């Protein structure tokens, strides 16, 4: 087993803050044991219902990896825009603009200019948990 940091809460319906500026900040956070073969850099706790259509419910632990060996289109990703974060599904990623969605019809797609965002990580796994 290895231990990864629990960086905070995640949302798909609103931007949120995370302490990801340095590894030193992460090292001060609590940890969660996961399988040693997993490449997750840190974890987030999902707090809303926007990704239930892909099996991610409030309280589930998201394993966030720095990269993916597979294309990210159609997968949940961690996005950074102007120092704030959001977990959404990468519907279309191209050099001009990117479209991110949830699995709920009431949440409009989020279209952002590519130069204003950074995909910080890919949700590479999930651990079911009960919400707090």
The two counts, helices (H) then strands (E), for the chain are 1, 9
**107 or 27, higher pLDDT:** 107
116: its two tokens: 């204003």
For residue 33, the cross-strand partners are 3
Rounded to two decimals, the pTM is: 0.91
Q: Which domains does the chain have, with CATH numbers?
A: 2-127 (2.10.109.10)
Tell which phi-psi region holds residue 65, choosing left (phi > 0), alpha (psi between -120 and 50) or beta: beta
65: burial class by Cβ within 10 Å (0-12, 13-18, 19+)? Answer: middle
Coil, helix or strand at residue 27: helix
Distance (Å, rounded) from C-alpha 42 to C-alpha 50? 21
pLDDT, tens digit (0-9, with 9 covering 90-100), for 18-71: 987 766 777 778 999 999 999 899 999 999 999 999 999 999 999 999 877 778
Distance (Å, rounded) from C-alpha 6 to C-alpha 25? 11
């Amino acid at each position: 087993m290895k231990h990864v940091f629990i960086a905070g809460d995640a949302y798909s319906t609103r931007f949120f803050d995370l302490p990801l500026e340095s590894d030193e900040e992460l090292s001060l956070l609590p940890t969660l044991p996961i399988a040693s073969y997993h490449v997750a850099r840190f974890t987030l706790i999902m707090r809303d219902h926007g990704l239930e259509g892909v099996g991610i419910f409030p309280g589930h632990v998201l394993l966030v990896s720095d990269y993916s060996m597979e294309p990210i289109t159609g997968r949940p990703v961690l996005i950074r825009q102007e120092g704030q974060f959001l977990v959404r599904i990468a519907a279309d990623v191209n050099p001009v603009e990117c479209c991110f969605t949830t699995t709920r019809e009431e949440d409009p797609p989020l279209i952002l200019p590519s130069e204003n965002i950074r995909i910080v990580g890919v949700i590479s796994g999930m651990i079911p948990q009960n919400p707090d």
